[in-house]
Structure 1
Amino acid sequence: MTTPPIIELTARARDIFRLVVEGYLETGQPVGSRTLAGGGGVNLSPASIRSVLADLETLGLLAAPHTSAGRMPTESGLRLFVDGMMQVAEPTREERAAIESRIAGPGPIEAALEATSAILSDLCAGAGVVMVPQREARLRQISLLSIAERRVLAVLVGADGSVENRIIELSAPIPPSALEEASNYLTAHLAGRTLSEAAVAMKADIASGRSALDAASQDLVQRGLAVWSEDAARRRVLIVRGQANLLDETALSDLERVRSLLDDLENKQSVADLLDMARDARSARIFIGSENRLFALSGSSVIASPYRDREGRVVGVVGVIGPTRLNYARVVPMVDFTAQSLGQSLSKLIG
């Protein structure tokens, strides 16, 4: 069934629909006609309200989970509310200050990313997620250590103090002298450069014979560059914090849904794929329930927003995952503001 545009609903139907959705998002419980009539928001009898509720149910906007219960919005109803009726509540001055201070705290970039996922989780009562920016750090030093006959551990130290370990698989054993020679050569060529920048220079040196490396050292350098280039292109790291927030009082009545959601969160590659869909958005994107395949079974929602570097390029995505009854009006601007703050903070850290 196609969801009708909000303008096709009568003023009476819009008012009742809005009250049902807002009541459900606040309590997580279906809203009945007597509650609507007694709350003072609708000047109609319970019988008249029930008639409107039935019409909204026929349109696919509301559903009655039990015969004697009230109504709750369907996923289509939530989408109509979010797109056409929701009035966002911007973060308060205190919330903005808390976000900025946590993200801009002392420490490396990784600390800012951890703080971002944690503050989103704390303020939005969901699981906070941050996709780590895919960036090539400028390197300061590289060390090569033999860990097996045909395996070498490369320790890459970035100019920003970050440290990464990578494994290189060799086609044949390499003598310690070749390992040392390759390590010195890489450090000399990598210092102050990214891997991709250094790769261009090193490949040209090796091809022209200017590298003065023996065959074993050349093989090690070329294999290392191939591994690191491929890894940097496909590697996506996701930070998730606050899964415990998903276990609220309403979760006790639907443990299967929560178990499914926690299982989905363990599949970080799939979560990263979903967040990637928000990279081209100008502000927060909202995925409600089965609108995304990953969380279709758990009936969860995702609110995600891209964050940018100082040149305005998208480098990652932040978001909140929670039940479909998330407080969208509050969480959407919170995620947007957090994305902006993270981008500004990373620009200062990266320099």
Structure 2
Amino acid sequence: MTTPPITELTERTRDIFRSVVEAYLESGQPVGSRTISRASVLGLSPATIRNVMQDLEEIGLLAAPHTSAGRLPTDLGLRLFVDGLMQVAEPSDEERQAIESQLSGSGPIEQALASATAMLSGLSSCAGIVQVPKREPRLKQFGFVRLSDTQLLAILVGEDGSVENRIVDPPPGVTDATLAEASNYLTRHLAGLTLSSALAQIDGEIRDRRQALDRASADLVRQGLATWSLDGGDRPVLIVRGQARLLDESSAADLDRVRQLLDEIESEEEIARLIDSAREAEATKIFIGSENKLFSLSGSSVIAAPYKDSAGTIVGVVGVIGPTRLNYARIVPMVDFTARALSRLVD
């Protein structure tokens, strides 16, 4: 079934439909005609409203759960509301400042992204997600520490402040002097290069016998760089924060759905593929319930927006995951603001 054009609905029908959806998004419960009659300024009787709600059910915009006489919007109904009837509310000054405050500190970009995502999760009462830009760190310092005769700790410090450690097996003939020589060479000659560039340079120097290192030191340098280069494709590219916020008071009556959603969130590869589809969007993209196969069982929604680097290239996506009864009018512009704030942060 496709969403009927908003122009096919009469003004009265649109007003009643909007009232039902807004009441549902606020309470999370099916909405009855008497509730709409009491709360709205339409001046219509419950019987008139009930008839219109019946019409909306017949065209697939509302549904009546068997446990209640009230109605709630279907995924099609929510899509029609979001695309044609929703009036967005811009983030407040306090919300803007809260998000931007998480992006003002120094340190690795992953830390800022995680902090901003956690803040977005708190403000929206959803799980926050962000896709980390795929980029190689540039070397600032590199060193080796001996752990035992058979193990070394390789320490990489990036120009962005990131620090990573790896356990490596030392090649034959490595002494403490070899460790110092290899560490000094890496920091002095390869600082400022990406991992792949540094590895290519040392390979060329070894091949042409141009490096100022003995064989043991050269092998150690190459092994240390290769440790990071080989697992570059496995670096985490998705940060999820605030899953616990999905277990609010209103979820108590629908724990099976929430458990299903939490299980789905654990599938980071599938979520990454989903939000990656928002990279080409010109603005915030909304996936509602069964529109997306991943969340069709839990009946959940995703609101996501791409963010860019200083060259205007899309490098990631930020957003939230939550139940379909999200406050779309408030959260959509909040996600959009967060994406724009991240765009100012990324080089």
Q: So what's the TM-score if we normalise by structure 1?
A: 0.88
- Secondary structure of residue in 2 paired with 1:140: strand
Shift in Å at residue 319 of structure 1? 1.1
> What is the count of residue pairs matched by the alignment?
346
Distance 1:55 1:207 in 2: 77
Q: Give the structure 2 partner of residue 71 of structure 1.
A: 71
Shift in Å at residue 70 of structure 1? 1.1
Is the 1:305–1:339 contact (alpha carbons within 8 Å) kept by the matching residues of 2?
yes
Shift in Å at residue 288 of structure 1? 1.2
- Secondary structure of residue in 1 paired with 2:302: strand
Is the 1:305–1:318 contact (alpha carbons within 8 Å) kept by the matching residues of 2?
yes
Distance 1:70 1:57 in 2: 11
Is the 2:107–2:160 contact (alpha carbons within 8 Å) kept by the matching residues of 1?
no
What is the root-mean-square deviation of aligned Cα atoms in Å? 2.6
Is the 1:150–1:173 contact (alpha carbons within 8 Å) kept by the matching residues of 2?
no
Which residue identity lines up with residue 65 of structure 2 in the other structure?
Answer: P
Q: Relative to structure 1, is the Cα distance of residues 56 and 173 closer, same or farther in structure 2, using a 3 angstrom cutoff?
A: farther
Are positions 1:175 and 2:181 aligned together? no
Instruction: Extract unaligned runs of 5+ from structure 2.
Output: none
Q: Give the structure 2 partner of residue 264 of structure 1.
A: 264
Superposed, 1:3-82 pairs within 5 Å as 3-66=3-66, 68-82=68-82
Shift in Å at residue 315 of structure 1? 2.5
When structure 1 is superposed on structure 2, of 333-342 and 102-111 the one drifting more is 102-111
Distance 1:106 1:194 in 2: 20
Q: Give the structure 2 partner of residue 290 of structure 1.
A: 290
Shift in Å at residue 175 of structure 1? 3.3
Distance 1:168 1:41 in 2: 71
- Between the aligned residues of both structures, percent identity stands at 62
Superposed, 1:136-151 pairs within 5 Å as 136-145=136-145
Q: Give the structure 2 partner of residue 240 of structure 1.
A: 240
Shift in Å at residue 163 of structure 1? 0.5
- Secondary structure of residue in 2 paired with 1:103: coil
Distance 2:231 2:3 in 1: 44
Shift in Å at residue 327 of structure 1? 0.5
Is the 1:64–1:70 contact (alpha carbons within 8 Å) kept by the matching residues of 2?
yes
Superposed, 1:112-261 pairs within 5 Å as 112-145=112-145, 152-168=152-168, 175-176=174-175, 181-211=181-211, 217-261=217-261
Q: Relative to structure 1, is the Cα distance of residues 161 and 134 closer, same or farther in structure 2, using a 3 angstrom cutoff?
A: same
Which residue identity lines up with residue 305 of structure 1 in the other structure?
Answer: A
Distance 2:230 2:60 in 1: 47
Q: Relative to structure 1, is the Cα distance of residues 154 and 319 closer, same or farther in structure 2, using a 3 angstrom cutoff?
A: same
> CA-to-partner distance for each residue in 1:86-136, whole Å, 9 max, x for gaps?
121111223222222232145553442232012101211111222232222
Shift in Å at residue 261 of structure 1? 1.6
Distance 1:331 1:137 in 2: 33
Distance 2:47 2:211 in 1: 87
Q: Relative to structure 1, is the Cα distance of residues 8 and 272 closer, same or farther in structure 2, using a 3 angstrom cutoff?
A: same
Q: Give the structure 2 partner of residue 84 of structure 1.
A: 84
Distance 1:253 1:68 in 2: 14
Distance 2:173 2:270 in 1: 38
Superposed, 1:318-329 pairs within 5 Å as 318-329=318-329
Shift in Å at residue 53 of structure 1? 1.3
The ranges of structure 1 where at least 4 consecutive aligned residues each deviate by more than 6 angstroms after the TM superposition are none
> CA-to-partner distance for each residue in 1:328-350, whole Å, 9 max, x for gaps?
11101001101111222344xxx
- Secondary structure of residue in 1 paired with 2:69: coil
- Secondary structure of residue in 2 paired with 1:129: strand
Q: Relative to structure 1, is the Cα distance of residues 274 and 41 closer, same or farther in structure 2, using a 3 angstrom cutoff?
A: same
> CA-to-partner distance for each residue in 1:195-227, whole Å, 9 max, x for gaps?
122233222222222235555555554454444
- Secondary structure of residue in 1 paired with 2:295: coil
Shift in Å at residue 27 of structure 1? 0.8
Distance 2:240 2:321 in 1: 10
Q: Relative to structure 1, is the Cα distance of residues 296 and 131 closer, same or farther in structure 2, using a 3 angstrom cutoff?
A: same
> CA-to-partner distance for each residue in 1:263-306, whole Å, 9 max, x for gaps?
22233333222222222222211111222233222211111112
- Secondary structure of residue in 2 paired with 1:333: helix
Q: Give the structure 1 partner of residue 344 of structure 2.
A: 344
Distance 1:174 1:297 in 2: 58
- Secondary structure of residue in 2 paired with 1:155: strand
- Secondary structure of residue in 2 paired with 1:112: helix
Distance 1:173 1:248 in 2: 58
Distance 2:174 2:223 in 1: 16
Is the 2:309–2:346 contact (alpha carbons within 8 Å) kept by the matching residues of 1?
yes
Distance 1:269 1:141 in 2: 32
Which residue identity lines up with residue 17 of structure 1 in the other structure?
Answer: F
Shift in Å at residue 29 of structure 1? 0.9
When structure 1 is superposed on structure 2, of 20-29 and 242-251 the one drifting more is 242-251
